[in-house]
C-alpha cells in the first residue's frame, strides 16, 4: 500500500487551504536567508504558486509542527532516474531529519525516485544531514549575467 494512503502522521494538503499555517514559516526561512546572505532566490509567494500550479507538493505533520515542499525532478545524465527534491522545509523544533526521514524515504520510493536531494547555501546543513545519509554530490556555482 502507498505510504501516502497509510501514513497518518503526514499528509498532503492543498496550500490554498493552509496558507495561513505555512506562510509564517516561509517568511521565517526567507528572512533568515536574506539576513545571512543578502538575497534569497525565491519568495514565499513562489512556493504558493508552485504548489497551487502542481509543480510542487506540500506535506505536513498532523500536528503542523513541521512541513515540507517537494518536487520530483529528473537526475541529469541518469537515463531517466528521478530525485525527490526537498525544496523548502520548516520544523518548529530541531531533529526534523531524524523524525521525518523515514517518511521522506518512503515518499521518494513511492514516487519512483532513486534518491532524495536538497540544495542549501547554509554551511551547517551539510554536517547535519551527512549524519542521516546525505552525501555531497555536486557543488554549484553561479554568476549573474548582466
Residue 78 grid cell: 541518469
Contact 8, 62 (CB under 8 A): yes
| Residue 131, in any domain of the structure | no
| Residue 22, in any domain of the structure | yes
| Residue 77, in any domain of the structure | yes
Euclidean distance between CA atoms 82 and 116, whole angstroms: 9
In this prediction, residue 14 carries a pLDDT of: 86
Euclidean distance between CA atoms 101 and 107, whole angstroms: 10
Residue 94 grid cell: 530541531
In this prediction, residue 4 carries a pLDDT of: 45
| Residue 127, in any domain of the structure | no
In this prediction, residue 144 carries a pLDDT of: 57
In this prediction, residue 6 carries a pLDDT of: 43
Bridge partners (DSSP) listed for residue 58: 69
In this prediction, residue 146 carries a pLDDT of: 66
| Residue 13, in any domain of the structure | yes
Give, for all 146 residues of the chain, the pLDDT tens digit: 344 444 445 767 789 999 999 999 999 999 988 998 888 889 999 999 999 999 999 998 878 888 899 999 998 888 999 999 988 888 887 666 667 888 888 899 999 999 888 877 666 666 666 776 777 766 666 655 66
| Residue 67, in any domain of the structure | yes
- The predicted model scores a pTM of 0.79
| Residue 37, in any domain of the structure | yes
| Residue 105, in any domain of the structure | yes
**Domains in the chain, number:** 1
The CATH number for 50's domain is: 3.40.630.30
Residue 52 grid cell: 497551487
Q: Which domain holds residue 114?
A: 3-118
- CA 24-48-121 angle, to 5 degrees, is 70
In this prediction, residue 129 carries a pLDDT of: 67
Counting every residue written for the chain, the total comes to 146
Amino acid at each position: 500500500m502507498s505510504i501516502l494512503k497509510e501514513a497518518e502522521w503526514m499528509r498532503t494538503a492543498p496550500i490554498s487551504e493552509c496558507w495561513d499555517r505555512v506562510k509564517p514559516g516561509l517568511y521565517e526561512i526567507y528572512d533568515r536567508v536574506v539576513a545571512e546572505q543578502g538575497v534569497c532566490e525565491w519568495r514565499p509567494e513562489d512556493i504558493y504558486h508552485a504548489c497551487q500550479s502542481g509543480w510542487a507538493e506540500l506535506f505536513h505533520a498532523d500536528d503542523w509542527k513541521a512541513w515540507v515542499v517537494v518536487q520530483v525532478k529528473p537526475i541529469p545524465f541518469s537515463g531517466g532516474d528521478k530525485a525527490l527534491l526537498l525544496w523548502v522545509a520548516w520544523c518548529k523544533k530541531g531533529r526534523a531529519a531524524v523524525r521525518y526521514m523515514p517518511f521522506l524515504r518512503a515518499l521518494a520510493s513511492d514516487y519512483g525516485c532513486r534518491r532524495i536531494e536538497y540544495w542549501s547555501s547554509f554551511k551547517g546543513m551539510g554536517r547535519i544531514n551527512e549524519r542521516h545519509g546525505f552525501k555531497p554530490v555536486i557543488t554549484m556555482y553561479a554568476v549573474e549575467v548582466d
